[in-house]
Amino acid sequence: MRASWITWLPMNTEVEYRAFECSSNQTLSTSWKSAKGYSRQINVGRFTDRYSMIHTAVMTHLQSDCKYEYHVGSGLFWSETFKFNGRTPEDGNTTLASFIVYGDLGTGPYAEYTRVALKDELKNNEYLAMIHLGDFAYDMEDREGRVGDLFMNNIEPYAANYPYMTTTGNHEKFKNLTHYKDRFIMPWNEASKNSSYFYSLNIGPLHMIFLNTYAYFKEKFINEVLTQTNWLIEDLKEANKNRSLRPWIVILGHHPLYCSVDWRIPTYPENVDCQIDAPMLQSHLEDLAYTNGVDLFLTAHVHNYERDAAIYKNETIPSELDTQNMHYNPNAPIYIVTGNAGNRRARNDPTSKTPQFWARYLSDDYGYGRFKAYNETHIYYEQYSAQNKKTVDSVWIIKNRLSYAPLD
């Protein structure tokens, strides 16, 4: 488990941690384990230089059946104490893996619905991790980085107690995603060159792939696109070799491949995301997802909620059985957009009044998703309206086979 934090002055980097509760009958030590980390200076300013120190340290040898407490700092200066669960479920483990999922969360009043709801949610329910699908703070570099600082303080009550897994969005574009790269240190791989722009995780029955979709929209990132795409091809190939251990493949990114155009209004500016950008992204990623049997594609960017059926080449692909809230043995990826956590605009984007034939549910309420993998045959997603304090949509995805695509 990695902890990261910021100080304004240089100081030693250290995290102290210990188990305080385990399901096994082991004797727990009251002494703290210590892990040294590293720090470096970062420039968080936009128009003028403003420096701070980013610290990061990793807690190791964690047990899956234990809960831990920790604090960060050094010497006489320590943070308050936070808590988290131990290691995530191992490969093939059928223990429930549950996540909070959202994108496009700012610091203004329109994010307050989600911030308040999440505090209550996490008091009463346990989740494995929180997933933020890009667009942070609006924008982290604004007011010489103070908006980014405010955002990090706002998410601390849950990001300090749960793994906070992220992808980058278009609002992280300042200085080639500098703030994102500095503030969010995700798992790395050789292809991403320690940038955390794309990576994958194995959690219980899930193989989860996090992509940088922003790169596909900028010619200057052509090399990054080629690198990520080649990595994705190999990652999916490896995931399918291990499909019996992890039958579910989920791709997560910021920009949607599918969302409903509102045909009553002009393309620019309100329809660009769904009418222009989504088809462009399809050209890069859809065939890869379909031919490798990806089960679910979770995205954000459009500031509302939309759940679609199984789709390929803009056509609804029938499952063995489909209802409004269930797909049994889908034959293509299912697409969900959850970009309504609370952006900086005065409202979320109105849902399309001309939803596409593959759209199953749309909402412009502020809120977030709950994603749960129960086992190798059942996953569940529901969308919660933080604004109206109720679940507005849900879907079961059920299968009795490893993949709809042929496995080599």
Please give the distance of CA 319 from its chain centroid, rounded to a whole number: 27
State the pLDDT at residue 324.
Answer: 98
Nearest to 5 by CA among 52, 45, 60: 52
State the pLDDT at residue 92.
Answer: 66
* 26 and 111 inside one domain: no
404 is a domain residue: no
* 168 and 58 inside one domain: no
Q: Residue written as tokens 């803009």? A: 314
Domain boundary among 85, 118, 143: 85
Amino acid (one-letter) located at 212: N
Domain boundary among 85, 109, 128: 85
CATH of the domain at 65: 2.60.40.380
CB count within 10 Å of CB 75 equals 8
Beta sheet of 97-102, edge-to-edge order:
164-167, 129-133, 97-102, 367-373, 378-385, 390-398, 326-328, 321-323
403 is a domain residue: no
215 is a domain residue: yes
* 242 and 347 inside one domain: yes
* 272 and 356 inside one domain: yes
* 167 and 62 inside one domain: no
Amino acid (one-letter) located at 332: A
State the pLDDT at residue 212.
Answer: 97
241 is a domain residue: yes
Tell the burial category of 80 from Cβ atoms under 10 Å away from its Cβ (0-12, 13-18, 19+).
Answer: exposed
Three-state secondary structure readout of the chain: CEEEEEECCCCCCEEEEEEEEECCCCCCCCCCEEEECEEEEEECCCCCCCEEEEEEEECCCCCCCEEEEEEEEECCEECCCEEEECCCCCCCCCCCEEEEEECCEECCHHHHHHHHHHHHHHHHCCCCEEEEECCEECCCCCCCCHHHHHHHHHHHHHHCCCCEEEECCHHHCCCCCHHHHHHCCCCCCCCCCCCCCCEEEEECCEEEEECCCHHHHCHHHHHHHHHHHHHHHHHHHHHHHCCCCCCEEEEECCCCCCCCCCCCCCCCCCCHHHHHHHHHHHHHHHHHHHHCCCCEEEECCCCCEEEEEEEECCEECCCCEEECCEEECCCCCEEEEECCCECCCCCCCCCCCCCCCCEEEEECCCEEEEEEECCCCEEEEEEEECCCCEEEEEEEEECCCCCCCCCC
* 68 and 202 inside one domain: no
* 248 and 327 inside one domain: yes
Tell the burial category of 241 from Cβ atoms under 10 Å away from its Cβ (0-12, 13-18, 19+).
Answer: exposed
Structure tokens at 173: 């574009």
Structure tokens at 331: 């034959």
Nearest to 291 by CA among 252, 333, 247: 333
Q: Would you give per-residue pLDDT tens digits along the chain (408 residues)? A: 999 999 999 999 999 999 999 988 888 888 999 999 999 999 999 999 999 999 999 999 999 889 999 999 988 899 999 999 987 766 666 778 999 999 999 998 999 999 999 999 998 888 999 999 999 999 999 999 999 999 999 999 999 999 999 999 999 999 888 999 999 999 988 898 878 899 999 999 999 999 999 999 988 889 999 999 999 999 999 999 999 999 999 999 999 999 999 999 888 888 899 999 999 999 999 999 999 999 999 999 999 999 999 999 999 999 999 999 999 999 999 999 999 999 987 678 889 999 999 999 999 999 999 999 999 999 999 999 999 999 999 999 999 999 998 876
Indicate the number of domains in the chain. 2
Domain boundary among 85, 106, 138: 85
Note down the domain range covering 122: 97-398
* 53 and 109 inside one domain: no
407 is a domain residue: no
CATH of the domain at 138: 3.60.21.10
92 is a domain residue: no
Structure tokens at 278: 């989504």
* 16 and 135 inside one domain: no
* 62 and 205 inside one domain: no
Nearest to 342 by CA among 324, 368, 360: 368
Q: Which residues fall within 8 angstroms of residue 81, CB to CB, at 6 or more apart?
A: 69, 70, 71
Angle at the Cα of 224 from the Cα atoms of 219 and 230, rounded to 5 degrees: 120
* 132 and 172 inside one domain: yes
Half-sphere exposure of 347 (CA within 13 A, CB side): 5
90 is a domain residue: no
306 is a domain residue: yes
Q: Residue written as tokens 């997560």? A: 252
* 185 and 310 inside one domain: yes
